[in-house]
Structure 1
Amino acid sequence: MNECYYDKHMDFFYNKTNTHTADEWTGPPLIGVLCFGTFFCLFIFISNSLVIAAVVKNKRFHFPFYYLLANLAAADFFAGIAYVFLMFHTGPVSKTLTVNRWFLRQGLLDTSLTASLVNLLVIAVERHMSIMRMKIHSNLTKKRVTFLIISIWAIAIFMGAVPTLGWNCLCDISACSSLAPIYSRSYLVFWSVLNLVVFFIMVVVYIRIYMYVQRKTNVLSSHTSGSISRRRTPVKLMKTVMTLLGAFVVCWTPGLVVLLLDGLNCTNCGIQNVKRWFLLLALLNSVMNPVIYSYKDDEMWGTMKRMLCCSSDDRNQERRSSRIPSTVLGRSTDTTGQYIEDSIIQGTICGKGDLGEKGNS
């Protein structure tokens, strides 16, 4: 029967797994990571708080997509809290932690990152449902959206607690990983592969959305004038989708690959030298999400700017927002979907007649 080490401190496990980076991570490298981390966390707290406040304040955002957007902002806000906790429990301090405190440190990170990832997947599915049905907003009721949000956090909390619940190496030191000295290597393989699969599903969903919108736009181009087509072109949608996918690939894939290599016990991959920077890169995704999903939306940006400037002149901004199409993924697809629906009906019924009249004129 294997001996269990629940009462040991982390220095015991670091020594058993030959992990010495906790001693080496001092001086300029630690200061640099802490400075970057502090800046990122401050930006995460401010930007995501503004996103949540904007959704609550502006009644134009009281729809399923924006509720999910606010939940994504909450998940990213939580990621900032998790990283602040990490900054005060890293470096040489890591070896002084108890097993339970180390589980809490990693559990907060796993919960926040999983919440962001699952929320992004739900948003992708919601946008897919809306566009395929050519509706401005999905048919999700507030109760269903609330259920989805609760489910997202339930999944995230469960995934963050799985190692604490038993999938660890406290009773089998030989199975311990190098990056996470009390995590089982099999769990790291499971967690990284699961997240990569979710990422692949998101890619497929967004590619399907883009191909559908592009196909419908090409059909409509023969029934509408060039100027209207240019105004309603889904180029901005494509840019938003590609920006989202690019940011996700850059920020998440390196860290997931490193975890997978550690789970596969790759001892010659040099993963210890890059782990802290890939952690910052994953955190950067929470910084970029408000930019990608919110600041490209004129109405969202206008609402947040009014809150920052404490301006009471909402009417001018609302009139301005109604003239400028939203460019965030949710708003762009909604506008495009409505435009596609209306134009197909008009083009099918009287498209050729209208073109004939224009030719005669």
Structure 2
Amino acid sequence: MSSNTSLPVPLQLCYENVSGSCVKAPYSPGPRVILYAVFGCGAVLAVFGNLLVMISILHFKQLHSPTNFLIASLACADFLVGVTVMPFSMVRSVESCWYFGESFCNVHTCCDVAFCYSSLFHLCFISIDRYIAVTDPLVYPTKVTVSVSGICIGISWVLPVVYSGAVFFTGANDDGLEELSSALNCIGGCQTVVNQNWVLIDFLSFFIPTLVMIILYSHIFLVARQQAKKIETTHNKTESSAESYKARVAKRERKAAKTLGITVVAFMISWLPYSIDSLIDAYMGFITPAYIYEICVWCAYYNSAMNPLIYALFYPWFRKAIKLIVSGQVLKDHSATMNLFSE
């Protein structure tokens, strides 16, 4: 005689027969394959896409400019996200377990925070660079030099690394949340809790630079519109060579500002859900379901893979550089002096 009483499903653990192991909540085979494919594609694109950006700018002398050096450094930050953060987060997200040790969990968290904030700082400096280039294109080369760009790059790396190390390696992130942190501290887990003070600092660190970028790019596009109207009204008039040169320079800088403005918008769209969710979570008792949190995290991670796609869509020189790199022509003598601009 059959019984309608169903047997309880035994809990799966990250480490079987290990006391204190985290409970494993894996996806079924179909969704697991799909998630690995989606997350893996993001990581591969972040690594190889940003590697192509760095090689293009650093190899071809025609691309050696303060703005492009900032873009190459930004690509380096996104490349490191693809190498040191995304692959391990992929396994944790799909398997719901951390198999890489407690020490590397701390390193992983620090790299995550440091490289993502480095991207934000780079974008902020790039927006300042574009603001000067569009509003005063003829004086721009004397104001923004390679050495100035180098200082901006140094700040964009040092501050995020120092900040992430000071917060997470010292344990300041979970002050006042020791009980919650202890409850989550099972073997096979890598969940970092951050108290309200540091979450607020994190949010302001995201919000203030983002607000600066919005203000600068709003002014940039306002000036660009005024310049375009001025050029249009004087198009049928006789222009001096100096005025013609100024118009060409202004047009080039506006085009570059438009592309980098799209990069900034993509960054904000990618990171805003995670920033808002973290702030709400800290003040509402960490109520966000795990799947919602993972969606927010991977939206932010995917930003590191988006920038090379944006450059490929809007920068003809980048498309040409990719062809030269993939075909192996960069290995030829004098390849660094090749012309990438169709002018």
TM range (shorter): 0.7 to 0.9
> How far apart, in 1, do the equivalents of 2:35 and 2:162 lie?
29
Is 1:160 paired with 2:152? no
- Counterparts in 2 of 1:147 and 1:297: CA distance versus 1, 3 Å: same
Is 1:321 paired with 2:341? yes
Aligned residue in 2 for 1:148: 152
Distance apart, 1:103 and its partner CA: 1.9
Equivalent residue in structure 2 for 1:85, among 78, 85, 88: 88
Distance apart, 1:297 and its partner CA: 1.3
Distance apart, 1:174 and its partner CA: 5.1
Q: Determine if contact 1:79/1:109 at 8 Å carries over to the other structure.
A: yes
- Counterparts in 2 of 1:64 and 1:193: CA distance versus 1, 3 Å: same
Is 1:121 paired with 2:124? yes
Deviates most, 202-211 or 215-224: 215-224
**Which ranges in structure 1 are unaligned for 5 or more consecutive residues?**
1-9, 12-19, 324-361
> How far apart, in 2, do the equivalents of 1:51 and 1:267 lie?
38
Equivalent residue in structure 1 for 2:324, among 287, 303, 306: 306
Scaled by the length of structure 1, what TM-score is found? Answer: 0.72
Letter in 2 for 1:129: I
Is 1:259 paired with 2:278? yes
Aligned residue in 1 for 2:220: 209
Letter in 2 for 1:157: V
Distance apart, 1:93 and its partner CA: 2.6
Q: Determine if contact 2:115/2:160 at 8 Å carries over to the other structure.
A: yes
Scaled by the length of structure 2, what TM-score is found? Answer: 0.75
Aligned residue in 2 for 1:243: 262
> How far apart, in 2, do the equivalents of 1:214 and 1:157 lie?
39
Q: Determine if contact 2:311/2:318 at 8 Å carries over to the other structure.
A: no
> How far apart, in 1, do the equivalents of 2:266 and 2:42 lie?
16
Letter in 1 for 2:39: G
- Counterparts in 2 of 1:54 and 1:295: CA distance versus 1, 3 Å: farther
Aligned residue in 1 for 2:5: none
Distance apart, 1:275 and its partner CA: 1.2
> How far apart, in 2, do the equivalents of 1:145 and 1:158 lie?
20
> How far apart, in 1, do the equivalents of 2:286 and 2:146 lie?
50
Distance apart, 1:61 and its partner CA: 1.0
> How far apart, in 1, do the equivalents of 2:77 and 2:88 lie?
15
Is 1:106 paired with 2:92? no
Aligned length: 302
Deviates most, 86-95 or 29-38: 86-95
Aligned residue in 1 for 2:240: none
Is 1:297 paired with 2:298? no
Q: What SS class does the counterpart of residue 321 from structure 1 fall into?
A: coil
Q: Determine if contact 1:76/1:112 at 8 Å carries over to the other structure.
A: yes
> How far apart, in 1, do the equivalents of 2:38 and 2:26 lie?
15
Distance apart, 1:142 and its partner CA: 2.9
> How far apart, in 1, do the equivalents of 2:164 and 2:264 lie?
24
Tell me the alpha carbon deviations over residues 230-278 of structure 1, each in whole angstroms, 9 at most, x when there is no partner. Answer: 995998567535533442232111111111111212555x443311122
Equivalent residue in structure 2 for 1:274, among 292, 301, 309: 292
**Which ranges in structure 2 are unaligned for 5 or more consecutive residues?**
1-13, 16-21, 185-189, 238-243
Q: What SS class does the counterpart of residue 112 from structure 2 fall into?
A: helix
- Counterparts in 2 of 1:240 and 1:322: CA distance versus 1, 3 Å: same
Aligned residue in 2 for 1:139: 143
- Counterparts in 2 of 1:53 and 1:68: CA distance versus 1, 3 Å: same
- Counterparts in 2 of 1:141 and 1:246: CA distance versus 1, 3 Å: closer
